[in-house]
Chains A and B, each alone.
Chain A
Amino acid sequence: MSVVRLEFRNVTMRFTERGKGVTLTAVTDVSFSIGDGEVVSLIGPSGCGKSTLLNIGSGLTAPSEGGAFVDGQRVEGPNAHVAFMLQKDLLLPWRTITENVMFGVEIQGVPQPERKRRAQSLLENFNLAEFSGHYPHQLSGGMRQRVALARTLAVDPHVLLLDEPFSAVDAQTRMVLQRDLAQTLKQAGKTALLITHDLTEAVILSDRVLVMSRRPGTVIDEISIDMPQRDNPIARRHDPKVSDYVAQLMDRLDIVHASLEQPAATGAA
């Protein structure tokens, strides 16, 4: 593996439920690393602490034990090298599309002409240039999610943390967005950690898939995806290997025996 971009070292996260005094361990002893330009997916049952890991990686929450490292530096708080994107597009309704894309760079104090330039080139890449002056409510869900991706890329992060970014859009739009994401990640050589519930999505978008256990979550397996064309998930879908990998993941997650009577996940999912 080349240079390590993102690393989790023995990360444990405990929450104390307010008022009850009960301590809940969301994730325990999670260690893995992601190399430069690699795309890694994280799958696991709901409530296994995937999103908690993402919050730790982006510096929004501090872990109880261990730590996250970006380019060898311990993550002590939000930093410019990591950017995240959620299922919700989180576009600001009072900002035009261009202004929304510039949101992050504006906060980081990038000068106005440079902001504009970045936003314009990203919008052109995503075929959204004609909507630059529109407001979010005038765009479809898929387009809005693409704007959110552009906003994430505008800050030029080394690492992208993606939390089920496409789970709220319809199946066909999702395929298009997956292709856009895959091409962008490949072209820009970005490193990404993708949280998803969609096993096929994990396989077709990633170099590796990490499997997490039920809570307290920890990484129980790692599967390398040995397929070409990581920048073309639509082509990868046709590869018969995909179903083998999905079957393997289902097996690892023990989906056949999983019951739905797990206690409802409280706190962070």
Chain B
Amino acid sequence: MSSDARSSSLRNGTMASVALLVAFLAAWQWGPGLLGIPSFIVPPLSMVATEFVHAWRVDHLLLHTGVTFAEVLAGFVLGSLLGALFGYLLGMSPTAEFALSPYILALQIAPKVAFAPLFILWMGFTVYPKILVAILIVFFPVMVNVLTAVRAVDPDLINLARAFKATRAQIFWKIEFPTSLPPMFAGLRIGSTLAVVGVVVGELVGGNVGLGYLLSFGEGQANTPMVFVSIVMLTIVGGITYVGVILVERRVLHYLPARSVGGNL
């Protein structure tokens, strides 16, 4: 594709995207009324906006969002680090992988969010059970991607390094680690969206702060606009985390051909 054709297709795409957004917002505002849907089922956009302002002023929306965001970040960072660490260890030690694989598989199959009540029993209504659920849920996609990448390193590359008399550490830092980065970032992207799921479930189960709490509080009061506000804020929190991962990925994997990194998000 020529750069002219590409920029024009990009422009068309952006225009279509904006048009779609306007249509969606309009449908949200006037659609429920036209279809006779009561506002406690689907509140129109303006009601949600009013509730947003109210929640911001009265219900400490910013605090709830901040707490949730901090939990997401903590869970995501710790879960990623642990996932990567185990990915490398198991990737380099087939014995360890063989011994641990049934347990890892069992833990991977178990729905991680089901652990939320357990963690709350253990740690009370603090931020820690939420972070722990996020860690658990982020851990697997990162670990599996790193493990597979370490396994898939071309043995000829390792032989090349060995022929130059590379030490084990040099083979890791100069070959295995950089090779594993593109798949690791694929895992991190998945993890960044899952971290939000883990935190919200934790907050729904117990506690008195965070967007998940606001969500269940709104539900308890049949305050549908508040539920919508919480969902929007959660989407923003997840979006920021995801975009953050993409931006780091673009920097780290700058050597890859342009379109294979990040794509169009």
Contact = CB atoms under 8 A, between A and B. Distances in A.
Interface of A: 55, 58-60, 78-80, 82-84, 86, 88, 90, 92-95, 103-104, 106-108, 135, 137, 155
Interface centre among B159, B160, B162 (most CB of A within 10 A): B160
Nearest to B161: A107
B4 interface: no
Contacts of A58: 163
Report the interface size class on chain B: 20 to 34
B154 interface: yes
Interface in B236-265: 253, 255-257
6 contacts: A59-B163, A60-B162, A80-B165, A82-B163, A86-B160, A94-B181
The 6 nearest A-B residue pairs measured at CB = A107-B164, A104-B164, A107-B166, A135-B255, A94-B255, A94-B178
A58 B156 CA distance: 13
B174 interface: yes
Interface of B: 154, 156-157, 159-166, 170, 174-175, 178, 181, 253, 255-257
Contacts of A95: 255
Contacts of A84: 160, 163
Contacts of B163: 58-60, 78, 82-84
Nearest to B157: A90
B156 A107 contact: no
Which secondary structure dominates chain A's binding surface? Answer: loop
Most chain-B CB neighbours within 10 Å: which of A84, A92, A155?
Answer: A92
Contacts, number: 54
A45 B216 CA distance: 73
A106 B164 CA distance: 9
A195 B170 CA distance: 29
A155 B165 CA distance: 11
Nearest to A88: B156
Contacts of B181: 94
B164 A137 contact: no
Nearest to A80: B165
A177 B21 CA distance: 56
Contact of B159 (A60, A80, A107, A155): A60
B8 to A, nearest CB: 26
B162 A78 contact: yes
Contacts of B161: 103, 107
Considering residues A80, A93, A108, which has the most beta carbons from chain B within 10 angstroms of its beta carbon? A93
Contacts of A94: 178, 181, 253, 255
Nearest to A161: B163
Contacts of B157: 90, 92
A121 to B, nearest CB: 19
